[in-house]
A and B are shown apart, each in its own frame.
Chain A
Amino acid sequence: DTGVSQNPRHKITKRGQNVTFRCDPISEHNRLYWYRQTLGQGPEFLTYFQNEAQLEKSRLLSDRFSAERPKGSFSTLEIQRTEQGDSAMYLCASSSSTGVDEKLFFGSGTQLSVL
């Protein structure tokens, strides 16, 4: 068990460019979450998957954001036409739970800076 892995750790991009982040959850975990965290704030929910199905999306997730989890394994989060307001830490978490026993295992995050 190597934990939740996120790549890249840091991403610097120019406004208007597209970026894609990857998350590899703990292998037996069926649930995968994406959160966004800005300085001085807690993690804000973006979206989550149970296996390959995307079951819930936050209103924070504008049309420029898309997430996938093909085959219920790793997940990608893409941001198109990045804006400076997208600068944040993007966190991935996974869980093996199917009910309320929702202990999350977090990755180290991808820090996005949009110039």
Chain B
Amino acid sequence: AQSVSQHNHHVILSEAASLELGCNYSYGGTVNLFWYVQYPGQHLQLLLKYFSGDPLVKGIKGFEAEFIKSKFSFNLRKPSVQWSDTAEYFCAVNAPSGGSYIPTFGRGTSLIVHP
């Protein structure tokens, strides 16, 4: 079964700092990759996704992620964070599991941005 590793569990930044959150997955075949975000008191929602084509994908609120197949990675980046980016960030992978595609999540990274 595929697995997803997020190595940064807690990140604390000041506003305007740059952000990079790591995500690695274990599946060797074709994958589809996602970052979800959960703002305080809200439900999980999609930030961005990669299916094919350009490995650099852009999402909402200035976030982007780069798929590097050789490194099995899909790191999330933002050049300049804002206080409102304080949230939990989850990397997820869709890979075949039996006859289905089951979205598998990493344990998440808690980001705190100080104003």
Contacts and interface: CB of A to CB of B under 8 A. Distances in A.
Interface of A: 3-4, 33, 35, 40-45, 48, 55-56, 91, 93, 99-109
25 contacts: A33-B103, A35-B105, A40-B108, A42-B4, A42-B6, A42-B92, A42-B105, A42-B106, A43-B90, A43-B105, A45-B102, A45-B103, A48-B100, A48-B102, A55-B99, A56-B98, A100-B94, A100-B101, A102-B32, A102-B101, A102-B103, A104-B44, A105-B45, A106-B44, A107-B43
B43 A41 contact: no
Interface of A: prevailing SS: loop
B97 interface: yes
Contacts of A104: 36, 44, 46, 103
B92 to A, nearest CB: 8
Interface residues of B, number: 28
- 5 A-B pairs closest in CB distance: A42-B105, A106-B44, A106-B43, A42-B107, A108-B43
Contacts of A45: 102-104
B102 A56 contact: yes
A106 B45 contact: yes
Interface in B77-112: 90, 92, 94, 97-108
B38 to A, nearest CB: 8
Nearest to B6: A42
A102 B31 CA distance: 11
Contact of B43 (A33, A42, A109): A109
Nearest to B94: A102
A91 B97 CA distance: 20
